[in-house]
A = this chain, B = another copy of it.
């Protein structure tokens, strides 16, 4: 008898990030924009933010970008962002949130203060509302300027493309049709945008958090142009995990583990928490593919967004930027 075959394939974010960064470098070269500058504003001493900043700096250096980190006082940040908005040498603006841990409204005000054409994370209302409404461009009906998607959800889409969960045989925009996905986390920054993006591409998405389960779909036969949301009263992981082709978890709690026994044989499991939401050895006995972290892909998407912003504004940069150089997302 031959040895029992290994079933689970572990895919590291690094593998996918490298491909994306190569695409970013190629696109940057093709639009001939020299060395773009990402201005980053850090107004807290959050250890995770500092670590993230260091890693972003390293990635920028390795890929032909200037990373200009400004440590600023909370009370000065709006003014500093306004200056960066006006500075032609700044191509993208990145702010480490949360700034005021106890005041979401104040953070949101700062998000909106970033100029639309420099909002590298797609956090401002215009980018977000386009995303939720499945509108891909900022300038309809001309459709030359692509809307920006937030980096972590976009990174997870790119991972799903790499994993062939997006079926390239189907029409762009419908490539997740027939797929059932569970997303555990419904934050405004990550989980809800992700559920909406997946549903907008045709998936049946169960969005789960401590308050319950919501189903995001484009309706029967995905005839609608954007997703709708339905509360699934009294549903829980026990109802949705056994149905799910893909399980994506981003619970920011060290002790949290997705219950492996509910995951279906052959599912694709992706963790986007900074903690390990899956029990590695157990999940490898069930999943067909396991992606233990996504951070490097997120940063690659940040640079991808920066190049997209530059391509969106060829006049301003006196370049023959080609939006066509980009793929769909």
Q: Say whether A220 faces chain B, with CB atoms less than 8 Å apart.
A: yes
User: Contacts of A162 on B, CB cut-off 8 Å?
Assistant: 169
Inter-chain contact B163/A288, CB cutoff 8 Å: no
Q: Say whether A48 faces chain B, with CB atoms less than 8 Å apart.
A: no
Q: Say whether A174 faces chain B, with CB atoms less than 8 Å apart.
A: yes
Q: Of residues 215 to 247 in A, which have CB atoms within 8 Å of B's CB atoms?
A: 220-225, 245
What copy number does this chain have within its complex?
A: 2
Q: Of residues 174 to 222 in A, which have CB atoms within 8 Å of B's CB atoms?
A: 174, 177-179, 202, 204, 220-222
Q: Of residues 244 to 268 in A, which have CB atoms within 8 Å of B's CB atoms?
A: 245, 264-268
Majority SS of interface residues in chain A? loop
- Report which of B174, B267, B286, B289 forms a contact with A288, defined as CB distance below 8 A: B174
Q: Of residues 273 to 298 in A, which have CB atoms within 8 Å of B's CB atoms?
A: 285-286, 288-289
Assuming the contacts A164-B169, A288-B170, asked whether A178 and B4 have C-beta atoms less than 8 A apart, the reply is: no
Interface residues of A, CB < 8 Å — how many?
Answer: 39
User: Contacts of A32 on B, CB cut-off 8 Å?
Assistant: none
Inter-chain contact A169/B11, CB cutoff 8 Å: yes
- Chain B, residue nearest A165 (CB): B167
Query: Would you mind naming 11 contact pairs between A and B with Cβ atoms under 8 Å apart?
Result: A5-B171, A7-B202, A7-B221, A174-B288, A177-B265, A177-B266, A177-B288, A178-B265, A202-B288, A204-B265, A221-B285
